[in-house]
Each structure stands twice: as C-alpha cells, then as structure tokens.
Amino acid sequence: MKIFAIFGNPIKHSKSPIIHKLFANQLNIIQQYKKIYVPIDKFNNIINNFFKNGGYGANITIPFKKKAYNICDFLTDRGIKSGVVNTLKIIKNNKILGDNTDGIGLLKDLQKIKFIHKNSNILLLGAGGAAKGIIYSIINFGCKITIVNRTYKNSYNLLKFFNNKKNISIIKIEDIDNIINNKKINYDLIINATSSSIKGEVPKISSKIIHSNIFCYDLFYSINITPFLEWCLYHGAKKISDGIGMLIEQAAYSFFLWHGVMPNTELILKQFKKKYFF
Ligand SMILES: NC(=O)c1ccc[n+]([C@@H]2O[C@H](COP(=O)([O-])OP(=O)(O)OC[C@H]3O[C@@H](n4cnc5c(N)ncnc54)[C@H](OP(=O)(O)O)[C@@H]3O)[C@@H](O)[C@H]2O)c1
C-alpha cells in the first residue's frame, strides 16, 4: 500500500486526507494518507524520514512550500516556474520530484465557474506562498495580473522573481484609489490570496476596486461566507466564490502525479460539500 501525507503547521484544519480518501474510493485505489504536524525548524528532518520509511508522496502546506522546493532533486516545469511546491513524489533512486498544483488547480476552478477568460485583467491581493504558486498558471493562460500587498517589498520581490514579465505589475495599496480614478481601470476579477480571512479580517484596501460586474474569489474557504467575500458583496459585487473548488482541483493534480489517473472532481466536490459542509 502506498503511503502519503500532508505536512504543515498548523495542520489540524486540513481537509486533504478527506479529499484524497474520496479520490481513492472513486478510483478503487488502496492507499494511506495522513496529516503530519511539523515544528517550524524540523521540516527537512521530518520529510526525509518520511521518505526513508517508505513514504511515496506528500502534500506541503503553510509555511513549508519554499523549503519543500529547496529539497527537490527534480522539478516539473510548473514547480520551476512557481519557485514553491505543494506536491512531492519519490521517483527512481529515491530522488524527490516536486510539482506545484496550486496554480493549475485555481485556473481549472476559475474556468469551471466561468470567472476567467484569456484577457482577464486581474487584481491579486497578497504576495505570499499561495500568490507565488498561482501567478505562473494565470499569466501563462493569457491574463494580466496586478499585485497589491500589505507589505510593498514582498510584492516587489515577487515581481523580481517573475523577471518583470510584461503581464505582471505591482501597485502600492495606498495608490489604488488614484489609479482607479485617474486611469479608469476596471479589474475583471479580484483574487484574495492573503491569509486575512483565517483571522476573520479583510485586507485594508479601497472599496473602489469593487463594481457590480467584478468576479471575487477568495482562496480561503469555510462553511460560512468568508469575511472578504462578505465585504465584496457589501460593496456591490454580485459574483463571488471561495476556494473549495481550487482545493479539490489542486488535490486532483497531485493525485494524478502520484497515480497517473485523474479523479472526477465535479462528483467529489458535490460529495465533499454534502458530507462536510452542510
Ligand atoms: N483553496 C486552496 O486550495 C488554497 C491553496 C493554498 C492557499 N490557500 C489559502 O491562501 C491563503 C494564503 O496562503 P499563503 O500560503 O500565501 O500564506 P502566506 O505565505 O503566509 O502569505 C500571507 C499573505 O497574506 C497577507 N496578509 C496576511 N494577513 C493579512 C491582513 N490582515 N491584511 C492584509 N494582508 C494580509 C501577507 O501580507 P504581508 O506580505 O504584508 O505579510 C501575505 O501576502 C490562506 O488563506 C490559505 O488557506 C488556499
């Protein structure tokens, strides 16, 4: 039986074991998938022991995606382009292959719910690990991204990582009002990739970014509406979604890397919501 686990800190809240169990049941695959809590300074030891003791694949979550990238012997193209990985797999000679499935998972969900098209003008809130992991897939699809983050330096570092590609720009959070007023920019889609919703907060940003035709997507998900999406509705948005769809899609791409088969994610999303959210 192949053994898998998700590594993170915190990890209690993770729904990945449930999702991978649903995938395995759907495709008649026998596997074990557990949660592993990792003290901040112990990531390398714990992950290396896991693979030495027969672990076959791993998912990596906050705050270890960069550390996971650094221990990889090989990377997929998505892994290289993102600079952070959320999926590991043991390959020949006990080497570790790293992939990033967050970006493709988000893109797949945005396409399914029709929140994105090739020319979408996107405002991305946040410049942490999740933002870094999704940018490549989104600009590769053809969209334009403007990053705005609480700490400007972190968005600047992100821009540098992506080599100032022409489809990416950054703005200061305090300049957004002027930019919208003077340049008459209308964003088509806002993606909240900050972790503010975890603490019940909303990023401090001008509500002028919201208009009635904008799509609003929060990477965070919960049983109740997220604080960010509630704020969007309050300021006039009509089309909102949280990140459950992305969670399932990114997991499906990890599953594919490990088993070579793709689960039917629409069915899993329905089962997951029915069993765990209602
Ligand atoms: N649905 C999914 O499948 C999925 C996948 C991955 C991640 N996520 C979610 O994505 C979110 C971000 O994760 P991450 O790994 O990128 O975390 P991270 O690396 O810790 O980055 C956090 C980001 O949020 C910003 N931030 C935190 N608190 C804020 C606040 N109160 N106001 C404004 N900005 C704030 C930080 O800004 P500074 O730079 O100023 O600190 C930083 O840009 C989390 O909610 C996570 O659950 C969802």
Residues 95 and 153 reside in one and the same domain:
no
Protein residue with its CA nearest to atom 18 in ligand 1 = 128
Protein residue with its CA nearest to atom 42 in ligand 1 = 128
Residues 164 and 86 reside in one and the same domain:
no
Residues 113 and 50 reside in one and the same domain:
no
Residues 113 and 219 reside in one and the same domain:
yes
Q: If DSSP codes are grouped into helix, strand and coil, which group holds residue 1?
A: coil
Residues 183 and 93 reside in one and the same domain:
no
What digits encode the pLDDT tens for the residues 149-197? 999 999 999 999 998 678 999 999 999 988 888 877 889 999 999 999 8
Average pLDDT in the chain: 95
Residues 141 and 232 reside in one and the same domain:
yes
Domain CATH code at residue 185: 3.40.50.720
Active site residues: 65
Residues 27 and 118 reside in one and the same domain:
no
Q: Check pLDDT > 60 for residue 98.
A: yes
Domain count of the fold of the chain? 2
Spell out the alpha helix ranges (H) of the chain.
16-26, 43-52, 65-71, 77-82, 102-112, 129-141, 152-161, 176-183, 227-234, 244-259, 265-276
- What's residue 185's pLDDT? 83
CA of 2 to the centre of ligand 1 (A): 31
Give the pLDDT mean for 200-222: 95
Residues 29 and 92 reside in one and the same domain:
yes
- What's residue 277's pLDDT? 66
Residues 147 and 202 reside in one and the same domain:
yes
Give the pLDDT mean for 261-275: 93
Structural domain harbouring 272: 2-100+245-276
Question: For ligand 1, which residues put their CB under 6 angstroms from it?
Answer: 62-63, 102, 126-131, 149-151, 154, 193-198, 201, 203, 219-221, 243, 246-247, 250
Q: Residue 100, Cα to own-chain centre: how many angstroms?
A: 9
- What's residue 43's pLDDT? 98
Residues 231 and 253 reside in one and the same domain:
no
Protein residue with its CA nearest to atom 30 in ligand 1 = 196
Q: Check pLDDT > 60 for residue 278.
A: no
- What's residue 215's pLDDT? 98
Q: Give the number of residues written for the chain.
A: 278
Q: Check pLDDT > 80 for residue 19.
A: yes
- The CB density around residue 119, as the number of other CB atoms within 10 Å, is 10
Q: Check pLDDT > 80 for residue 223.
A: yes
Residues 57 and 12 reside in one and the same domain:
yes
Give the pLDDT mean for 87-98: 97
Residue written as token pair 């993770």: 14
Q: Check pLDDT > 80 for residue 276.
A: no
CB 202, CB 231: distance < 8 Å: yes
Residues 119 and 88 reside in one and the same domain:
no
CB 220, CB 198: distance < 8 Å: yes
Domain CATH code at residue 39: 3.40.50.10860
